[in-house]
Amino acid sequence: MPKDNHKTEARLERIIYDGVRKLGGLCEKMAPTRWGIPDRLVLLPGGRIYLVELKAAGGSVRPAQSVWHRKAELLGTRVVVLRGEAQLHSWLQHCASVLEADRLHRERTNP
């Protein structure tokens, strides 16, 4: 892998780690024990669990990753593939919106 891709991946990993922490969650790097396993396990408040595959902008999923993602989806678990900083920031904002909607719902139903 070219040196620039390593820098890009390291930057994406820092962004997701910091962003998830700000949302009150945990972000763990997955051990590559099998070909195709996603990069990150993200746990957010309210029991929200995400498997996340980080790619540089324009990066593609390898065939082994596609197979693993399909197996996870057959079990009802979606793998989120995020390509580049823009998609990563957008996904973190989406997560923040979902968590805020959950909070507002709890306030309305449990005054």
pLDDT at 48 > cutoff 70: yes
Q: Which residues contact 41 (CB under 8 A, 6 or more apart)?
A: 26, 27, 28, 30, 49, 50, 51, 52
In this structure, how many other beta carbons lie within 10 angstroms of the beta carbon of residue 48?
14
pTM of the predicted model as reported, rounded to 2 decimal places: 0.87
Mean pLDDT, to the nearest integer, of 79-90?
A: 96
Euclidean distance between CA atoms 88 and 14, whole angstroms: 11
Considering the chain, what percentage of its residues have pLDDT values greater than 90? 75
Structure confidence at residue 32 as a pLDDT band (50, 70, 90): confident
Report the Cα 30 to chain-centroid distance in Å.
11
Which two structure tokens, joined as six digits, stand for 29?
């790097």
